[in-house]
Structure 1
Amino acid sequence: MESFKHIGVIGRIGSVKVVETLRRLKSYLVANDYQVILEADTASMLPGHGLQVASKKLIGEICDLAIVVGGDGSLLGAARDLSKSSIPILGVNRGRLGFLTDISPDDLEERLSRVLEGEYVEEKRFLLDAHVKRNGEPMGYGTALNDIVLHPGRSTRMIGFDLYIEGQFVYSQRSDGLIVSTPTGSTAYALSAGGPIMHPRLDAIVLVPMFPHTLSSRPIVVDGGSEIKLVIDEANENWPQVSCDGQQELACAPGDSISIAKKPFRLNLIHPSDHNFYATCREKLGWASTIAAS
């Protein structure tokens, strides 16, 4: 297993609980002779820290490991910024569900020490790129670890669009939009819209319609290497939007096209060695944890 010496720390802004955990994390790492580099915004929450400060990009270049303290949203943001580097990312949960940030603050030092000693499992998660074009000209670009979503924005009207997969026409649809999700995102927004749960190791993409104007429209699972294209109907009266992980918005107009494909770089996500995807689903989604007696 890889040895970690230079550790970048990224925290969610505006949370007292995150600050408390950051202080504990800093104290533990410094006491154990790790070289700690704080992300610039994170450093502002720890006045008098006395540590090196760097941008997320620089952390990806000079660190052996990045630790993200926050919720899954914090890790999603860090993943997009660090995906071009091969740096592993470890999440400490200070959010709600914590599908990605799976170290609990309650036993932070104990769990972290095991990971830093090499007791961890590693996963490669792929991301998606979205390119918006108007009359063939690029208008916007975004990246997502969870999902790319075409939606009406502030309007309550349905969107008309055409779907193409690998250049082949699939259907024309009127709905509240479409969720294009990775396996990582299959337990997030896509799940709430009726999509399937996909194991993180699958090389697949799921397309989940949002309140389609037909009963026969169902989620479609396609190969992870597929190129997906959405063409917004020119007859639309509203200007829809494309959302990347719910954190980055791209404005669209009637007639625009959105091309979605796998990003060439993968996120290197690590977990404690006892990590179990199905156990996480049981805990976070409220699945039954015992087998009823027959």
Structure 2
Amino acid sequence: MEKVRAVAIITKRKNAEAKAAAAKIAKMLDSKGILAYAISPLRINGIDTIEPDDVKGKADLVFAIGGDGTTLKAFRTIPGDLPLLSINVGGHRGILSEVDTDNMQSAINDILDGKGFYDSRIRIQAFLGKTAFSPALNEILITRADLSRTPTISIKLMGDEKSHRMDGIVISTPTGSTGHNLSIGGPVLHEGMSCLILSPIAPVNKMPQLVIPIEEIVVKSSHKSHLVIDGQENHIIKAGQEVRIARYPHDVRFLRLNKKGMRQLAKLGF
């Protein structure tokens, strides 16, 4: 990995433990001659605060301090393919994280000594006409807005089209296979694979989960739906509108220290 000259820090919002860790890390970086920035709205005494759009030109590494939600948001916030170190502070499982408060300082020292490596992951993006939504690292969920009616959902893929009555569908990346996909009985995939998972939610005709090549997918519902990105952004889709889902051109890059065969399974305790 390249020499680290400047680091931008983003934290879990309204979390005192994450903010305290950020201040500690900023002080540690300063003692080693590494420039540190706080990504707005974070404020750290003695550290410049920058807007997300300015991170690419100022920092060559991002520290995301919080849980998995903070990491997911950070990848939607920072531009391009800047590498990111996920530090689990104040989170629950920390499946995406590399370090936590117990080994935070030693891990950062190792990274500054050039011992890290990059772990690339694919992302997907949804489009509604000419409107492009934020990219998703884990999954895109399309689900019914009216809980009293079961819509018919049409899925176009690889020149074929299938229509089934179901509550919704989850389109997951391998990274997201341990998220919403797993909770509804979907398979866990090695996070380095290049494929997607289609997981129907409560299909009337018991449509199975499908592991498919990374191809453009078009989804249409007979009723108004919610389109949810990584469990954090929610958009309303009108009945009959086509949602196109495709691979996002910029993969994310995690900064890692420890090589693991099935990282996400290990994080889940299997």
TM-score of Structure 1 vs Structure 2, range by shorter chain: over 0.9
Of 47, 50, 60, the match for 1:54: 50
Work out the CA distance in 1 between the residues paired with 2:237 and 2:264. Answer: 37
Hey, what does 2:86 align to over in structure 1?
A: 91
Deviation at 1:153, TM superposition (A): 3.4
Of 202, 221, 225, the match for 1:232: 221
Of 193, 217, 221, the match for 1:202: 193
Tell me which amino acid in the other structure corresponds to 1:247: Q
Gaps of at least 5 residues in structure 1 are 288-294
Deviations 1:85-116 (A, max 9, x none): 23111110021111212211112111111122
- The within-5 A match list for 1:267-286 is 267-272=252-257, 274-278=258-262, 280-282=264-266, 284-286=267-269
Work out the CA distance in 1 between the residues paired with 2:234 and 2:24. Answer: 35
Seen in structure 2, the aligned counterparts of structure 1 residues 54 and 285 have a Cα distance that, compared at 3 Å, is same
- Aligned pair count reads 269
Deviation at 1:127, TM superposition (A): 1.0
Gaps of at least 5 residues in structure 2 are none
What is the root-mean-square deviation in Å for CA atoms of aligned residues? Answer: 1.6
Tell me which amino acid in the other structure corresponds to 2:13: I
**Secondary structure in structure 2 of the residue aligned to 1:3:** coil
Identity %: 24
Work out the CA distance in 2 between the residues paired with 1:242 and 1:143. Answer: 12
Deviations 1:53-98 (A, max 9, x none): 111121122211000001111111111222x423111110021111
Of 219, 222, 228, the match for 2:209: 219
Normalising by structure 2, report the TM-score. 0.94
Deviations 1:218-255 (A, max 9, x none): 1111112x00001222xx3xx21111111111211111
Q: Please tell me whether the aligned partners of residues 36 and 47 of structure 2 are also in contact (alpha carbons under 8 angstroms).
A: yes
Q: Please tell me whether the aligned partners of residues 127 and 144 of structure 1 are also in contact (alpha carbons under 8 angstroms).
A: yes
Q: Please tell me whether the aligned partners of residues 66 and 88 of structure 1 are also in contact (alpha carbons under 8 angstroms).
A: yes
Hey, what does 1:290 align to over in structure 2?
A: none
Q: Please tell me whether the aligned partners of residues 142 and 250 of structure 1 are also in contact (alpha carbons under 8 angstroms).
A: no
Q: Please tell me whether the aligned partners of residues 148 and 181 of structure 1 are also in contact (alpha carbons under 8 angstroms).
A: yes
Normalising by structure 1, report the TM-score. 0.87
Q: Which has the larger radius of gyration?
A: 1
